[in-house]
Amino acid sequence: MPELPEVETVRRHLAERIEGDVIRGVEVRLSRIVRHPAVDAFADRLRERAIRRVERRGKYLLFQMDGVLLVSHLRMEGRYAVADPSEPEAPHTHVIFRLGSGRELRYADVRQFGTMDAVLEGEPLPRGLAELGPEPFDPSLNGAALGRLWRGRRAPIKSLLLDQRQIAGLGNIYVDEALFAAGIHPLTPAGLVGAEALDELLREIRDVLSRAIREGGSSVRSFRDGYGRHGGFQIQLAVYGRTGEPCPRCGGTIQKIKVAGRGTHVCPACQRNPIARTAETGVNA
């Protein structure tokens, strides 16, 4: 699933190309992509609306228009492209927005998991978007705030970092990378991590996200940006997807484990598991 850097990359490219353009018509070929309202009403709400801004919240793309907000979640394989009508369509193109400039904004999704909502001003935000936690770059987010939020929590820290209600936009790739950079084992109970260590973790989260955005995201599987280009950050990944390879820090072997049902990449030497240490010593945490 595209994470914050990939969605931000798409946002920037779409903003360059379609901000100020007007939606003249909407063709929905796969109705389940549209969650709210019904397909005909969805198209009516967007017709003749100018796209004022393309924004991002967590992993959501937000198309700001006068009186209406188009909320789009790419999920696993969603992809936008701006094209001339004469250009061949990508396979699995499910929604086409015909623009006043004569171009088309096309949405393709091979897995068909993506969603769209057209929300009128005054209507409640879609589920998921309304419950998002703070952005990772929110200056009010710090180690002390996270410590208060997670006080007493025994859940693994990775599972909370993946919870969009805690911090918005993080996913499997960048959580693994940030935890490695901060030297925190993904299974560490969140309530055991102190404020200073959480401050360091936030610094690493912001650093890895910033570097990934500069490189246009990570094309670990099929991600492409708004111009159809692959991201470049995958070659800089330290642990994600590098099972069995040497750790870039200590030379040990990177392992893959399961945390919250997700494949998780860790260096057991650089990221000591406090649960395992407790079991070895017989001391209660």
Q: Which residues are catalytically annotated?
A: 2-3, 59, 262
- How many Å apart are CA 256 and CA 240, to the nearest integer? 9
274: three-class secondary structure by DSSP: helix
Query: In this structure, which long-range contacts are made by residues 35-43, counting pairs with CB atoms below 8 Å and at least 24 apart in sequence?
Result: 35/115, 35/116, 35/117, 35/126, 36/117, 36/118, 36/119, 36/126, 37/118, 41/118, 42/116, 42/118
String of DSSP letters for 153-212: --SBHHHHHH-TTTSTT--HHHHHHHHHHHT--TTSBGGGS-HHHHHHHHHHHHHHHHHH
Q: In residues, how long is the chain?
A: 285
Name the region of 65 (left: φ>0; alpha: ψ -120 to 50; beta: rest).
beta
